[in-house]
Amino acid sequence: MDKTLAHLADFHDEAPLVKGNLTFHDITEIVSSHTEKKTPLQWYGAFGLALSGLMLMIVMIAYLFWNGTGVWGLNNPVGWGFAIVNFVFWVGIGHAGTLISAILFLFRQQWRTAINRSAEAMTLFAVVCALVFPGIHVGRVWAAYWMLPIPNQMGMWPQFKSPLLWDVFAVSTYFTVSAAFWYVGLIPDLASLRDRATGLRRKVFGVLAMGWTGANRHWRNYEKAYLLLAALCTPLVLSVHSVVSFDFAVSIVPGWHTTIFPPYFVAGAIFSGFAMVITLMVVARKVYNVENIITIDHLEKMNIVILVTGSMVGFAYITEFFIAWYSGVQYEQYAFTNRMFGPYAWAYWTMMTCNLFFPQFFWIKKLRRSIPFMFAISIFVNVGMWFERFVITVVSLHRDYLPSAWDYYTPTWVDVLTFVGTFGLFFTLFLLFLRFLPMVAASEVKGVLPEADPHFYDHEGDGHGADHTLGVAKSKTAH
């Protein structure tokens, strides 16, 4: 039996997570140096562009506040337009970060360590972009705080039975917990930056690192906190977009009122989020020279997630469509025919092609390992998922129960430029993150190197010590 086991131990089907034989020090060096060197000119170029986008958004919002929501393309049946579409789009993007950092952590997927930091940053910034829209679409912005249940002299409370209020709770909880999780994960790396710095920089990172010394006790507390936060974030991955889906599904608008919405929205959120991670990482790993840490294997795994979640979304499309027919409810049936052949058929088919058709190319191993190809697909998925929200929101509303009330919704230039501007906000934040914080969780990546195993240098120091003693050594620590 021992012989069989020894034979089997030679089976290596997993490529090392970190390539290029990097040492612990190499990883610290690669990750930290980007925040320490003189700001490159290209960064200023990119940041300038992003900042102009942010300015554009601010100007558009100022214009909106001055004139009122009449500057948007909303009309009588279509009372929800770009604002809600963009809100759902951005909240959805965030879900990949939480899935990577929380659920993949609980599933012991070690490859997550290379991407979790930037994906979580993406989550936070996407949620910030999302939060812009509920804030500005209320019409009377000076009353936006009415969304919160604050005791007041008017004795006036929000409608607790409204999913829009649940959204306020769900998204703000999501932001808070994600930010805490992200920050806790950052602490050991902030301490590394502190230890490498001098002067004011050292003081600032010293405060941010909260006195981390890398002591055994620190690590114990850190890992406990990390596990607890992962466990708290896991239900949030499901709950946030489920609550967002309730915004639609509780009402009896045909095309909205369907029970599969919660899991279907969650799958779509993860799908779009992973596409955004691919879009960002394909560029960032090249520019920041971390191709040995965020390897092609990492990208391939994310592409598989895109394939799986894209197919789940496709599964939901098929189910919705079938049940609309099966229900025998003529309004439901009409809603789906109208999506396919009505005035917004172009939007529907854009969505179907981008979300259902294109990701299927990832069945082919060669394509899911091709950088230009995956970049193109990730853009298609981003576009497709935006159109999915557009189709759900606008197409269902523009033809409701009363044909006399039907109308066609066209966004105005203010709608479009506000949306474009949110990308400015997003990239401004993301570029600041890349500039000042370690974009890879260096301490976690070190933890998944084979050298991190305490028995790596046993057995003649050939690097196979861990394999031979793993069973014995670990079972001791487990009890």
Footprint of another protein on this chain (CB under 8 A)? 1, 4-5, 8-9, 11, 13-14, 108, 235, 238, 242, 246, 249-252, 257-263, 311-312, 315-316, 318-320, 323, 326-329, 363, 470-471, 474-475, 477-478
In one-letter notation, the amino acid at residue 259 is T
Total Cβ atoms within 10 A of residue 395: 25
Asked if 434 and 444 count as a contact pair (C-beta separation under 8 A), the reply is no
Nearest Cα neighbor of 278 from 376, 366, 350, 363 is: 376
Pairwise CA distance, residues 447 & 17, whole Å? 11
Q: What element of type H or E holds 191?
A: helix 163-196
Of the two residues 411 and 465, which places its CB atom closer to another protein in the complex?
Answer: 465
Least Å from the CB of residue 72 to another protein: 28
3-class state of residue 387 by DSSP: helix
Of the two residues 200 and 478, which places its CB atom closer to another protein in the complex?
Answer: 478
Least Å from the CB of residue 260 to another protein: 4
Of the two residues 363 and 413, which places its CB atom closer to another protein in the complex?
Answer: 363
Of the two residues 143 and 252, which places its CB atom closer to another protein in the complex?
Answer: 252
Least Å from the CB of residue 200 to another protein: 40
Least Å from the CB of residue 242 to another protein: 7
Asked if 397 and 350 count as a contact pair (C-beta separation under 8 A), the reply is no
Least Å from the CB of residue 188 to another protein: 18
CA separation (Å) from 109 to 106, 115, 125, 227? 8, 12, 24, 14
Least Å from the CB of residue 312 to another protein: 8
Of the two residues 42 and 159, which places its CB atom closer to another protein in the complex?
Answer: 159
Q: What does residue 292 show for φ and ψ, rounded to 5 degrees?
A: -80, -15
Of the two residues 13 and 460, which places its CB atom closer to another protein in the complex?
Answer: 13
Asked if 226 and 185 count as a contact pair (C-beta separation under 8 A), the reply is yes
Of the two residues 79 and 235, which places its CB atom closer to another protein in the complex?
Answer: 235
Least Å from the CB of residue 410 to another protein: 30
Nearest-Å Rg of the Cα atoms of the chain is 25
Residues written for the chain? 479
Of the two residues 363 and 457, which places its CB atom closer to another protein in the complex?
Answer: 363
Least Å from the CB of residue 274 to another protein: 16
Of the two residues 7 and 38, which places its CB atom closer to another protein in the complex?
Answer: 7
Asked if 123 and 94 count as a contact pair (C-beta separation under 8 A), the reply is yes
How crowded is the C-beta side of 188, counted as CA atoms within 13 Å?
23
How far is the first Cα of the chain from the last one, in angstroms, to the nearest whole number? 26
Total Cβ atoms within 10 A of residue 283: 12
Distance of CA 460 to the CA centre of its chain: 44
Both tokens assigned to 327: 């229900």
Least Å from the CB of residue 262 to another protein: 4
